[in-house]
Structure 1
């Protein structure tokens, strides 16, 4: 949401210090440079099978096992709080980043760097990036004065506009932060909603999110004017591919039974797939072509 500057945080809100500001501008430029950085890397079926086997093995041993957007690299956190990045094809280590604080969250920014969210102490969180392959760490911002059990829940971003949304949840509350093109860190007004998931469109014009209210999970949108609209009640946010939202109808157990594609221009929804068995939204993947795949629970 490149043209929208949300009200600034005050008091306990996160700020970028004078020391961090030059580093953040450097980071912001790097995020923008990734806009068209994902390469289509072709691998043979045998190589793909070997890579999937390696990923499964890593998940058995390490936390935060995360594959880059192009499928070329995998990141994982070892028991000593060191973040490793490995080339999947060659299984060669690319870099290792020591983290002084407890890591709560790891997310790839295309295939060039990672977001890493850390807990400095209860109620005090720090967000940084780790460059690949150099391993250089850059502090983005710090969130202080949060509930003691607060943790990074989801980070979503647009490399086209440099918009970043950061969802931090505690047991009873949600805080949604926005970092815009001018590097302003602001708290997004969400009406006190408890938010479970967020996903931004590719061009950054709309944020979709899932909340829990009045006994039901709901999918909503937030536009660049700050307007919140209900998309579907009793639904789960599955994915945003490009600028298109995919959501799932859920049953009384909160499991997705069918996946729909939403047309933001008309407000109409189209059934994409009825699932053979109800499953968690986290186990559903939507490919770039819009095909729905159900993955085994991790």
Structure 2
């Protein structure tokens, strides 16, 4: 390893399994001291268990690293505050926040109830906003005290948030919100020495079981495992390091050995009458504009 994060302190939410676990292990291998957060809930958010976070922290220590487990719910104000406090009390500083916690409750729109919507939006959006808010309050105070941090935030969006996904309206809406939150945070927090980016990973986790299981399966011949969560983590470690200076407000799709800069919304064809349109005129103009516009990529799962 390159020790690219040597001396840094990172907190990783949802780090008991899957991508979060891979990120925590990778950061520790690169020299970071890690707060391993996980509430230990099931794939749909039910139940809670302290064991996943504890096991990953123990795994890091067994490999010669430093880590502490944290089992609070970071989608609550108290849980998010305690996440930051744990880093400061245990390791004396905080340099990196990796927001990764989440779960799914997939339903078609006509079958989705308010609880399904609220639970998924809460864990992904509040679970990003609240740790970010508390971490950045600390970093702002440090900057104002003349100790400008070299702070990094890595948020987790999804292809579902960038393109949409059939049967995942709650998840897709929340992950699209994570992108907007990333852009706002990057713009607001740069003055305090905080860089904020997002990744859209594709990897084998509990959240990709079911209809994607075959595509995500490990190769039977023991070759390169394109869907291993650990494939995503090197980029996270680099974004978490001081070496990523100047990279902020970006979204990176990461899958297997491929990294893609996602370029987001850009103005396309435009018509300007310089006066008010009639409905018929507006419709005619729109049809003409669409003939010159690029064809959107299909929503995941669309027929």
TM-score, normalised by the number of residues in structure 1: 0.28
Please tell me whether Structure 1 or Structure 2 has the larger radius of gyration of its CA atoms. Answer: 2
* Larger relative strand fraction: 1
TM-score, normalised by the number of residues in structure 2: 0.28
